[in-house]
A and B are shown apart, each in its own frame.
Chain A
């Protein structure tokens, strides 16, 4: 019976809103993908000369459209004061960093950056630890209430976050958590999506490894820390990237929880700059400051981003 429900849960996930297994899968097939990528496309299916030109043109157009907003953001942030006129204002000379110093001096940008870092990093650690523990228990342990608990996690997939947000805010207002770090962070720690992905990943690990350690007399916590956790490295990396990105870019929850300027995150702060009618170049300077860390991380660990985002289709 237990197995039946668990399997039903798996199919709901796979067929339903989440692409649950997808995050676990890439790790196992990545090598195969690469070899497949490398082996040459059959001559017959390769585009002819005309096709190649057409593809090149389309790729160029699509790339320009994709990159243009980033380019404009950067260049305009370096052109303070100048009336924006086209195409002159897009040319990369007569640049000045004064918008950056202006926005850093006049606004709480460093504080917002710090808040965003706290919100993202603490949440990543919390979510990963809690999800790894829970995922391990759901995947490998039998205990009373396991199915009921798992179903309660699943049952919230359909409920939009915006519904949950209102009572959580009321609760936090009563507990005095509004405008505090703990009020901002703690409600985001139990991430159902992370638990599903962890459970899925751990289910596929062979039992024998844990059994051997157990027969050697290792304590459960010891088994978890020195055997389970190292095996989880790939999923911790992709899931960690996804959770980090989600918190870094999160907007609505920090918006309602950070009521004073000093408790805003970067996204909320930059939206507030926009509303205060701060000059465009300064707003864009703020955007560049908020974007650079994500861009650097993207360059460094791109595949974790692509796997994390595609594997975790639904937010917790």
Chain B
């Protein structure tokens, strides 16, 4: 026991004994395989990717620093503005409704009742399903003769394929996004809901508060951090929307669903314009940082 106590205080000394040196060697040995791979395939390329945005890199050609040229080109590239708009509109459609749907599912399965676990498992299933696979069936669901079009017909709306209409294609893809993500939000919110003190809710009930009031004044404030966390995660994710669009529309009709990552993919891997693709990556990076900064600011205010 004494040895243990001594050990825990010892490393604070400046001078290092043979044991500390050995420990340091072992530590380094254990961390190096992972760290070197990380340097080679994440840290290095991550930095290089941001730098490449300021060059005219293409494979097999000499590379020049071109300063802000890629970004100037972007300013005059209608395709960039269109893909940025698609990305932002998609996020605005998908994120709030994903969180709302998550909240709905969480409240529905909140209290333990017979089958509540089964329902949670069902609602979580789309989260583990690849969007590529799901998209193959959603193409049919949204086709002219598909069930979605029939449903619209029943509601008295025009029966048409949403994926071939430039105004409806993003709402359709957002519906797929909501379907695939709301089970995740449900679980995050359920975890928080368990922390809501039952006594508080019962007390409010005694005071004659209805379900809506109880939610508004007792449950919702407890969920605030979770809502916030979800908003950040889902926004960051939706900025990177690609898989579903790649399969369902290929960016169409007439680029109405052509997202930023889609443009990055095409620029880099179809036209080998890797410098410009990296510059688009820089834009994505800035968008991610802005979301994080907003999060910091709001969290700072809360404290």
Is the pair B34, A163 in contact by a Cβ cutoff of 8 Å?
Answer: no
Q: Which of B79-87, B165-173, B187-195 contacts A (4 or more CB under 8 A)?
A: B187-195
Residues on the A chain within 8 Å of B121, using CB = 302
Given contacts A143-B28, A166-B278, A280-B140, contact A313 B128 (CB under 8 A): no
A71 to chain B, nearest CB (A): 9
Residues on the B chain within 8 Å of A90, using CB = 147
Is the pair B27, A142 in contact by a Cβ cutoff of 8 Å?
Answer: yes
CB 8 Å contact bits of A206-243 with B (1 = contact, 0 = none): 01100100010000100010000000000000000000
Residues on the B chain within 8 Å of A153, using CB = 38
Given contacts A42-B202, A163-B281, contact A313 B233 (CB under 8 A): yes
The number of chain B residues touching the other chain, given as a range, is 35 or more
CB 8 Å contact bits of B110-138 with A (1 = contact, 0 = none): 01110000010111111111111111111
Find the B residue at minimum CB distance from A65.
Answer: B179
- The answer to whether the Cβ of B145 comes within 8 Å of any Cβ in the partner chain is yes
The number of chain A residues touching the other chain, given as a range, is 35 or more
Is the pair A166, B52 in contact by a Cβ cutoff of 8 Å?
Answer: yes
Is the pair A63, B20 in contact by a Cβ cutoff of 8 Å?
Answer: no
Is the pair B41, A284 in contact by a Cβ cutoff of 8 Å?
Answer: no
Interface set, chain B 234-248, CB cutoff 8 A to A: 236, 239-240, 242-243, 246-247
Given contacts A134-B30, A158-B292, contact A163 B188 (CB under 8 A): no
The main secondary structure of chain B at its interface with chain A is helix
Given contacts A37-B112, A66-B179, contact A138 B274 (CB under 8 A): no
CB 8 Å contact bits of B1-38 with A (1 = contact, 0 = none): 00110011001000000001001111110110111011
Residues on the B chain within 8 Å of A106, using CB = none
Residues on the A chain within 8 Å of B288, using CB = 158-160
Residues on the A chain within 8 Å of B243, using CB = 251-252, 267
- The answer to whether the Cβ of B108 comes within 8 Å of any Cβ in the partner chain is yes
Residues on the A chain within 8 Å of B57, using CB = 170
CB 8 Å contact bits of A58-78 with B (1 = contact, 0 = none): 110011011111101100100
A168 to chain B, nearest CB (A): 4
Is the pair B28, A163 in contact by a Cβ cutoff of 8 Å?
Answer: no
Interface set, chain A 81-101, CB cutoff 8 A to B: 84-86, 90
Is the pair B46, A164 in contact by a Cβ cutoff of 8 Å?
Answer: yes
24 contacts between A and B (CB under 8 A): A33-B194, A46-B111, A62-B105, A62-B119, A72-B147, A142-B23, A144-B28, A155-B43, A160-B288, A162-B240, A162-B281, A167-B52, A168-B45, A189-B41, A190-B41, A192-B42, A208-B4, A215-B3, A251-B131, A252-B261, A267-B133, A284-B136, A294-B128, A310-B191
- List residues of A whose CB falls within 8 A of some B CB: 15-17, 19, 22, 33, 36-38, 40-42, 44-47, 51, 55, 58-59, 62-63, 65-70, 72-73, 76, 84-86, 90, 130-131, 133-134, 136-138, 140-146, 149, 152-153, 155-156, 158-171, 173, 186-190, 192, 195, 207-208, 211, 215, 220, 224, 245, 248-249, 251-252, 256, 267, 270-271, 274-275, 280, 283-284, 286-287, 290-291, 294-295, 298, 302, 305-306, 309-310, 313-314, 316
